[in-house]
Structure 1
C-alpha cells in the first residue's frame, strides 16, 4: 500500500526532502526526493562513486537541476539520475519508486517501507572500530 510522504510543493520549495525507509533486506536507507519539472524523483541518498551522502541533514546541494556530490563534485541530473562528469561519470543513481496524486507524494516502491522523515539517526550509522578517545 502506498505511503504518503509529503507534497510536491514542499519538495520544490525546500529544494529536496529526505526520509528513511527500510529496504527488502531489513537495512535502513536514506532516500532523497528532488524537484523535477513534472513533479519529483526519488534516489538513494548517496553518490555512486564512494557512497558519499548528498543530503547530510541540511538539504541536498543542487545547481541548475543537478545534484552535486559534496566530496568530488560529480553532477547528477536530478530527474534522470545520470552522471556524465567527475569521478562518478557513466553511472546512474539507484531510484526509488514514488507517485504523485493531487500534489501529494507517495512511496510506491514495494522494496521499501517508510520509517520517518529525515535521515538515519547518528546511532544507526557506521560504527568506528577505533579505540582512540577524544
Structure 2
C-alpha cells in the first residue's frame, strides 16, 4: 500500500527523542505512529510504534511534549507503564505482558523510511481529529513526568 516513503533523518529522531507522523491503515483509519531511537545488543536503530498505550487509549507521544523516554523505555503518561523502545514490550503496570503494535521502517544512509505495506503515509505530526483534545492526559499515575 505504501511503497517506500522517506520520513525524516535518524539525526532528527535522536535529537528530538521521538518523531510523530500519521498513516492510513488498510481499514481507512488514520493512525498516529512515532519513531524512537533503539539501542540494544545489535547496535542502534530506529523503531516505529503505534501511538497508543495497549492498556487504555492514551497517546504515548503528545504534540508539544513528545514522548517521555527513560532508560530505554517509553513511559505512558497516564498509568506509568513503560514500553521497551526496541521491542515495544511492557513488563510493568497496567499494560504488563503486552506489546505495542509496530509499523515497519528501515534506515538507509542516515534516513528513516516507511516500508510497511499495510499503511500509507499521510503527514508529519498528529492526526487531524485531535482538534478538541486538551493536550494532556487524565493521569491517575503517582509518577510525575
Given the two structures, how large is their TM-score scaled by the length of structure 2?
0.83
CA deviation string 1:7-60 (max 9, x = no partner): 111101100000000001110000010011221000000100002101121211
User: For the aligned residues, what is the CA RMSD?
Assistant: 1.4
Structure 2 unaligned runs (5+)? Answer: 134-145
Residue number in structure 1 paired with 2:12: 10
Partner Cα separation in structure 1 for residue 60 and residue 107 of structure 2? 23
Q: Secondary structure at the match of 1:96?
A: coil
* Residue of structure 2 in register with 1:132 after alignment: none
CA distance in 2 between partners of 1:13 and 1:123 (Å): 25
Equivalent residues in 2 for 1:66-85, closer than 5 Å: 66-85=73-92
Q: Which residue of 2 aligns with 1:40?
A: 46
Q: Partner residue of 1:115?
A: 122
Q: Which has the higher strand share?
A: 2
TM-score by length of 1: 0.90
Identify the residue that residue 24 of structure 2 maps to in structure 1.
22
User: 1:46-89: CA deviations, max 9, x gaps?
Assistant: 10000210112121111111000000000110111010000000
Structure 1 spans left out of the alignment, 5+ residues: 127-134
| Number of residues of Structure 1 aligned to a counterpart in Structure 2 | 126
- 2:61 is paired with a residue whose SS is coil
| 2:61 alignment counterpart | 55
Deviation at 1:124, TM superposition (A): 6.9
Residue aligned with 1:36, SS: strand
Runs of 4+ in structure 1 over 3 Å off: 122-126
